[in-house]
């Protein structure tokens, strides 16, 4: 899952098979003595052995075993005889198919794409056959309607209810032409979604700007000079040693390259060139997503109406916390009312500062980031580059681990070499309980690799917790970031020096990982992030970000990579004061994305006179002090909603941010300096939000932790925006 602005996501699967619109969820495989590493059913993925050639034969084998197991499940007479073959069916997909989706995200290649695309029809066929099995549907309905229902444990009830809803949304009630059309749409959506994602990756990689005049590189931070010089050197056919001081420097459109360029490049014409390329990615040429947007929206609407829903948003919200679009709009209105005027004042402040320092007239889009960064440096008297030396990856990890020990009572042990990996930079760790027993593990893929790794950051489940009479599995997850990689200078290698935002991103993804790894639910279908309503899944991740502004936590990990000196107190205070800098603008940006998403999937008619781009422009004018460029084609790269799991769900970031801010306020209430009370509150958070996963409705779990329903007050206070309007 990518998060706000292409930052994060937690990849997860619904119970009744895999999401038929997105097969990028990651599960597991194992290394056993057989020729095809995808045909394994325990252990860890053999990422060092999986090749595109394995995909076709594996899917053929899975298809044959699928038929046998499905028949056994359909002939079941009780819970145990149903869940045994269903568990094996789940493992077929987890071990044999999901690693392919993972590798598409972190080690993309043309050969792997081709193998994936060729196998999709068979996978879709199995998923639909499973979801449309009437005997299975009737079995779950029988559980729900039985005399034992009232006394059934909550976790089992959730499995049954979600299985029934998933079957209904998989077309169980359709027949004849409607069923045939539904299945056609399912296959089309999966293929088009993959094509959309690949186009974004290819378009991002296809563009670059080479800077050869040192004058145009004036103002570049040292770290960025090394990254940009490394980008240029790596692209040359013959081995070339990068020269950060003299260049050339290559600017690309992935986050670690584009964002600092826009913030620090003094050449306005070059900023404009890069900005226009960024907002028109995948909107023309051979990587054009323009027509795919309408195709996806039409297919989703048609499929939803076949199921009896008015639109895709109604379909999507059937299994989310939010009751309907009206409840979401109420949240939008509250947050928009609290941030719009403040956002306008923030732009005015940046403009005045720019005018006072030599810029003439109004600011264009490619000016705002540059002058906002100059104003931030002026107001808070520090630069992001000053912070980088204090945030090398290893001390940051140590600080993160130490925080989790204090809050949740768990410890971490490096286990590099114990798991096959897809890249030499990937790390592996074990998670240990209070009694030093292993309870989980995780992979960490920390660095940007724009040549074959998709942008953003995400967590995805690799192995789901499962403890039954027939199996015992500890949870494992993937934590994937795109932080600045290590670089070199004349003195040798420099470790990964992270921006503060990259530190926050790591904490964010680790929050997702904690919910997956610290679950105590034994039934895989509702353990960890499985079965958690989509608009609640960002709660733990956004909760963890708050600790980046906690004095003890931050100063415990902010160590200068050369001297070992702790970040000075005055810098810490400035970071905290800067937390609310342009908070309204950031709020408005996320509201714009969320409101556009909901509008496109509810009121928008893909066959009508208004285009999707006009919808985005209309909403952007309502939510931004600076309307978008007429040629802005941001939607063409909006993978969250067109190639990921956030369709009619992007609002979830703000929805969950309300929850996370309110949850962190519980720690503020007991006093952040009161270590004993913080630990007790942390344990309660672990035992509720992190432990119970999808076994209960998320609002029930939240109320058990907090003692009441959440409010928006804490979020607005943390954002410096006062009370809601």
Structure tokens at 372: 């906002």
Active-site choice (195, 295, 509, 657): 509
Q: Other C-beta atoms within 10 Å of 530: how many?
A: 25
SS3 178: helix
Using CA atoms, how far apart are residues 497 and 80, in angstroms rounded to an integer?
A: 51
Using CA atoms, how far apart are residues 529 and 519, in angstroms rounded to an integer?
A: 9
Q: SS in 3 state form for 272-339?
A: HHHHHHHHCCCCCHHHCCHHHHHHHHHHHHHHHHHCCCCCHHHHHHCCCCCCCHHHHHHHHHHHHHHH
Using CA atoms, how far apart are residues 329 and 326, in angstroms rounded to an integer?
A: 5
Asked if 341 is an active-site residue, the reply is no
Q: Among all chains, which residue has been given the structure tokens 């890249």?
A: 423
Torsion of CA 582, 544, 516, 193, to 10 degrees: 10
SS3 609: coil
Q: Among all chains, which residue has been given the structure tokens 């999507």?
A: 316
DSSP designation for 391: B
477 forms beta bridges with 442, 461
Q: Among all chains, which residue has been given the structure tokens 């004993």?
A: 676
DSSP strands (E only) in 464-599: 466-467, 472-473, 476-483, 487-489, 492-494
Using CA atoms, how far apart are residues 12 and 458, in angstroms rounded to an integer?
A: 11
Using CA atoms, how far apart are residues 50 and 710, in angstroms rounded to an integer?
A: 45
Using CA atoms, how far apart are residues 219 and 261, in angstroms rounded to an integer?
A: 10
SS3 479: strand
DSSP designation for 629: P
Using CA atoms, how far apart are residues 27 and 465, in angstroms rounded to an integer?
A: 11
Q: Among all chains, which residue has been given the structure tokens 């020096």?
A: 497
Using CA atoms, how far apart are residues 246 and 250, in angstroms rounded to an integer?
A: 12
Using CA atoms, how far apart are residues 227 and 450, in angstroms rounded to an integer?
A: 12
**Is the distance from CB of 540 to CB of 511 less than 8 angstroms?**
yes
Q: Among all chains, which residue has been given the structure tokens 């353990």?
A: 527
Least Cα distance to 464 among 157, 126, 156, 693 occurs for 693
- Helices of type H across 381-469: 384-387, 393-408
Residue 463: in which H helix or E strand, if any?
strand 458-463
Using CA atoms, how far apart are residues 156 and 387, in angstroms rounded to an integer?
A: 49
Using CA atoms, how far apart are residues 666 and 127, in angstroms rounded to an integer?
A: 42
Q: Which residues belong to the active site? A: 509
């Amino acid at each position: 899952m990518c998060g706000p602005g292409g930052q994060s996501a937690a990849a997860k699967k619904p119970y009744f098979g895999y999401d038929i619109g997105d097969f990028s969820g990651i599960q597991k495989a194992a290394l056993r003595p057989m020729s095809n590493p995808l045909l394994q059913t325990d252990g860890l993925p053999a990422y060092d052995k999986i090749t595109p050639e394995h995909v076709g034969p594996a899917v053929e084998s899975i298809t044959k075993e699928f038929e046998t197991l499905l028949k056994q499940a359909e002939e079941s007479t009780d819970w145990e005889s149903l869940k045994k073959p269903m568990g094996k069916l789940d493992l077929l997909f987890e071990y044999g198919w999901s690693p392919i989706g993972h590798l598409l995200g972190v080690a993309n290649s043309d050969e792997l794409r081709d193998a994936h695309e060729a196998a999709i029809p068979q996978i879709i066929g199995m998923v639909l056959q499973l979801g449309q099995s009437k005997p299975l549907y009737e079995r779950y309905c029988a559980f729900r309607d039985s005399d034992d229902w009232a006394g059934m444990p909550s976790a089992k009830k959730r499995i049954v209810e979600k299985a029934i809803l998933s079957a209904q949304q998989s077309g169980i009630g359709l027949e004849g032409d409607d069923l045939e059309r539904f299945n056609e749409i399912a296959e089309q959506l999966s293929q088009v979604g993959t094509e959309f994602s690949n186009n974004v990756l290819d378009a991002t990689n296809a563009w670059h700007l080479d800077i050869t005049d040192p004058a145009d590189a004036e103002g570049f931070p040292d770290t960025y000079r090394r990254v940009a010089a490394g980008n240029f050197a790596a692209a040359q056919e013959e081995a070339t040693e990068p020269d950060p001081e003299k260049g050339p420097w290559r600017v690309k459109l992935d986050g670690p390259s584009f964002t600092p360029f826009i913030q620090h490049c003094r050449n306005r014409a070059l900023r404009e060139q890069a900005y226009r390329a960024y907002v028109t990615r995948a909107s023309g040429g051979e990587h054009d997503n323009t027509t795919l947007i309408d195709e996806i929206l039409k297919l989703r609407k048609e499929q939803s109406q076949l199921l009896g829903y008015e639109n895709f948003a109604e379909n999507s919200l059937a299994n989310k916390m939010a009751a309907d679009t009206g409840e979401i709009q109420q949240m939008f209105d509250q947050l928009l009312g609290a941030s719009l005027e403040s956002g306008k004042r923030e732009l005015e402040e940046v403009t005045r500062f720019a005018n006072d320092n030599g810029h003439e007239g109004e600011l264009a889009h490619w000016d705002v980031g540059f002058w906002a960064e100059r104003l931030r440096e002026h107001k808070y008297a520090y630069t992001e580059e000053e912070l980088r030396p204090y945030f090398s990856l290893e001390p940051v990890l140590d600080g993160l681990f130490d925080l989790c020990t204090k809050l949740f009572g768990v410890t971490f042990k490096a286990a590099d070499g114990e798991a096959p990996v897809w890249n030499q930079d990937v790390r592996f760790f074990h998670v240990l309980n209070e009694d030093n027993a292993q309870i989980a593990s995780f992979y960490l893929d920390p660095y940007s690799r724009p040549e074959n790794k998709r942008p953003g950051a995400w967590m995805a489940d690799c192995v789901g917790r499962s403890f039954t009479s027939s199996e015992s599995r500890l949870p494992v997850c993937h934590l994937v970031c795109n932080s600045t990689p290590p670089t070199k200078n004349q003195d040798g290698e420099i470790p990964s020096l992270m921006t503060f935002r990259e530190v926050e991103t790591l904490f964010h993804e680790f929050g997702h990982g904690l919910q997956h790894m610290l679950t105590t639910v034994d039934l895989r279908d509702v353990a960890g992030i499985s079965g958690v309503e989509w608009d609640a899944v960002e709660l733990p991740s956004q909760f963890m970000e708050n600790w980046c502004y906690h004095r003890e936590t931050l100063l415990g990990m902010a160590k200068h990579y050369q001297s070992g000196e702790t970040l000075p107190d005055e810098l810490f205070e400035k970071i905290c004061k800067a937390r609310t800098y342009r908070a309204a603008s950031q709020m408005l940006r996320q509201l714009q994305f969320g409101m556009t998403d909901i509008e496109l999937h509810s009121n928008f008619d893909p066959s009508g006179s208004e285009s999707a781009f006009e919808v985005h422009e209309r909403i952007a004018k309502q939510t931004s002090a600076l309307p978008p460029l007429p040629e802005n084609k941001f939607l063409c790269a909006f993978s969250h909603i067109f190639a990921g799991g956030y369709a009619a769900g992007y609002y979830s970031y703000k929805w969950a941010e309300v929850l996370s801010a309110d949850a962190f306020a519980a720690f503020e209430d007991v006093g952040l300096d009161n270590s004993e009370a913080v630990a007790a509150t942390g344990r309660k958070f672990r035992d509720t939000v992190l432990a119970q996963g999808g076994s209960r409705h998320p609002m029930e779990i939240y109320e058990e932790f907090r003692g009441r329903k959440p409010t928006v007050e804490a979020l607005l206070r943390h954002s410096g925006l006062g009370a809601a309007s």
